[in-house]
């Protein structure tokens, strides 16, 4: 039986609002462990029973998460960040700095390394763990120089035929005055254009937050995958609620409307795969999460490297151009169906010759 408390040092303060029963079970198990140490009484049978109950509760909760609960899991303070993936998944990582134009943005990290037997370029968004790290990297909100640095290193990797892996985890691009003055929108737009033309395999994975153009700027590739409890959206739920209802407390409703979960986006055909997370979310077992991501990268790279470059680019172009086609087609069918139903409910006058409905 898995001990969820010992798995990743999840303390009582780390439980989310909807995990009250899980937190209560953790408290009970901790009390029994303390009593066992103090009095020398064996409570292992009782602890195992509580563990089974906790696992069952986690399965119940995480099999039916709402969109807003998914956002909360994606923002968990102990969720694995870029540094965890670099330390546990990438061997011989060598970081590359600067955009040769303005400076080095710490919110985007680039460098070469090995995943499995493959040499790859890693481009990842860094949110930072401690307060000092978060401030240094703008809480994961990149500046234009970060996106220019990413593209410069991608072009460098393209020259040597090295595949590119991007790890997406950002609330959005930095919206400051300085960023706008240095061409934030243009930097994002150029990345979208150039990434679609790169003559190497490109795999993009959303590992946490995927906010707006800040995420999209490094998310153009041959495959786009998401961790099970990550989110990927045109705007944050709070931002959407503030715009539509002028009330940030409506964020849960906005999250549902945005269809930002991995399951919703997979159904819509916007992502290619969902990478499973351990029971209770990635923050409860960082090693298993990183392993799942690594296996997906290795498997997908093996598949993409079998494809000729011209075919790879053609498939990428078709994939990008087809986004939204199914949704548009279904709306057209719905519109036509609605028109037919309207004709049926309002028949023509008797003197007019009836015309067959076109379906």
What pLDDT score was predicted for residue 262?
A: 94
Tokens 């680039």, residue?
A: 110
Same domain, 88 and 151: yes
For 263-311, the pLDDT digits (tens) are 999 999 899 999 999 999 999 999 999 999 999 999 999 999 999 999 9
Same domain, 140 and 186: yes
Band of residue 356 on the pLDDT scale cut at 50, 70, 90: very low
How many other CB atoms are found less than 10 A from the CB of residue 225?
23
Same domain, 147 and 286: yes
Residue 207 scores a pLDDT above 50:
yes
Q: Six-digit token pair at 159?
A: 């020259």
Rounded CA separation 257/251 (Å): 10
Same domain, 172 and 270: yes
Same domain, 98 and 150: yes
Same domain, 240 and 118: yes
For 300-313, the pLDDT digits (tens) are 999 999 999 999 99
In a domain, 183, yes or no: yes
What pLDDT score was predicted for residue 349?
A: 45
What pLDDT score was predicted for residue 357?
A: 46
In a domain, 52, yes or no: yes
Mean pLDDT of all residues belonging to the chain: 87
CA distance readout (Å), 25 to 79, 188, 279: 21, 46, 16
For 131-161, the pLDDT digits (tens) are 999 998 889 899 999 999 999 999 999 999 9
Same domain, 49 and 161: no
pTM: 0.84
Same domain, 232 and 275: yes
Using a pLDDT cut of 90, give the percent of the chain over it.
65
* Domain CATH code at residue 134: 3.90.226.10
**Of the candidates 124, 104, 102, 100, the residue with the CA atom closest to the CA atom of residue 112:** 124
In a domain, 226, yes or no: yes
Band of residue 327 on the pLDDT scale cut at 50, 70, 90: low
Residue range 245-271: mean pLDDT, rounded: 92
Same domain, 167 and 56: no
Q: How many domains does the chain divide into?
A: 2
Same domain, 167 and 192: yes
Same domain, 219 and 171: yes
Domain extent for 133: 73-306
């Amino acid at each position: 039986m898995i001990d969820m408390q010992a798995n990743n040092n999840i303390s009582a303060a780390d439980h989310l609002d909807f995990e009250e029963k899980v937190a209560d079970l953790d408290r009970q198990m901790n009390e029994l462990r303390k009593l066992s140490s103090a009095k020398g009484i064996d409570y292992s049978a009782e602890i195992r029973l509580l563990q089974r109950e906790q696992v069952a509760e986690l399965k119940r909760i995480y099999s039916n998460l709402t969109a807003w609960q998914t956002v909360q899991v994606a923002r968990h303070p102990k969720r694995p960040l870029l540094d965890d993936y670099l330390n546990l998944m990438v061997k011989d990582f060598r970081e590359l700095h600067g955009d040769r134009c303005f400076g080095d943005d710490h919110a985007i990290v680039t460098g070469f390394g090995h995943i499995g037997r493959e040499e790859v370029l890693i481009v990842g968004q860094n949110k930072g763990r401690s307060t000092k790290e978060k401030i240094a990297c703008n809480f994961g909100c990149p500046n234009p120089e970060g996106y220019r640095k990413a593209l410069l290193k991608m072009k460098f990797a393209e020259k040597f035929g090295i595949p590119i892996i991007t790890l997406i985890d950002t609330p959005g691009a930095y919206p400051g005055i300085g960023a706008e003055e240095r061409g934030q929108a243009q930097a994002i737009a150029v990345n979208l254009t150039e990434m679609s033309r790169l003559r190497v395999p490109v795999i993009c994975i959303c590992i946490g937050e995927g906010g707006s153009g800040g995420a999209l700027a490094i998310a153009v590739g041959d495959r786009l995958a998401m961790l099970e409890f990550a989110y990927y959206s045109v705007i944050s739920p709070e931002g959407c609620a503030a715009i539509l209802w002028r009330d940030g407390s409506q964020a849960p409703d906005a999250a549902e409307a945005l269809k930002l979960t991995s399951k919703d986006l997979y159904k819509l055909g916007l992502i290619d795969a969902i990478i499973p997370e351990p029971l209770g979310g990635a923050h409860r077992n960082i090693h298993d999460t990183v392993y799942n991501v690594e296996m997906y990268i290795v498997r997908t790279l093996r598949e993409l490297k079998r494809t000729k470059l011209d075919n790879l680019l053609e498939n990428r172009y078709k994939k990008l151009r087809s986004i939204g086609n199914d949704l548009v087609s279904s709306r057209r069918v719905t519109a036509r169906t609605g028109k037919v139903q309207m004709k049926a409910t309002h028949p023509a006058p008797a003197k007019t010759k009836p015309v067959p409905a076109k379906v």
